[in-house]
């Protein structure tokens, strides 16, 4: 074996250097995750709600629930 000496590890400023790198990576990954969630979950959900409420008739639903006897304070029309 050779009797060479090992180089000293760079300890000064190591925390700051690693922290800058990991903060940049974490920030980039969090932005990518947020954008992915926005375009894969929230945008389709907003579109589905808009499509549903485009043809939604609240009075028709109320009358159907009224006739089914869902409400205690409103009797069906036949009674």
Residue of 77, 48, 79 lying closest to 64 (CA atoms): 77
Q: Which domains does the chain have, with CATH numbers?
A: 15-68 (4.10.93.10)
Report residue 7 as tokens: 């180089």
Report the pLDDT value the prediction gives residue 12, as an integer from 0 to 100: 86
What is the spatial distance between Cα 22 and Cα 29, in angstroms, rounded to a whole number? 10
What is the spatial distance between Cα 39 and Cα 19, in angstroms, rounded to a whole number? 30
The pTM of this model reads: 0.63
| pLDDT (mean) for 57-77 | 91
Tens-digit pLDDT profile for residues 6-56? 888 888 888 999 999 999 999 999 999 999 999 999 999 999 999 999 999
């Amino acid at each position: 074996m050779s009797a060479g000496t090992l180089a000293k590890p760079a300890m000064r400023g190591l925390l700051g250097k690693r922290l800058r790198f990991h903060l940049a990576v974490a920030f980039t990954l969090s932005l990518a995750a947020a954008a992915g969630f926005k375009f894969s979950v929230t945008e389709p959900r907003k579109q589905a709600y808009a499509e549903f409420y485009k043809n939604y008739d609240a009075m028709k639903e109320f009358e159907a629930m009224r006739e089914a006897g869902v409400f205690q304070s409103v009797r069906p029309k036949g009674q």
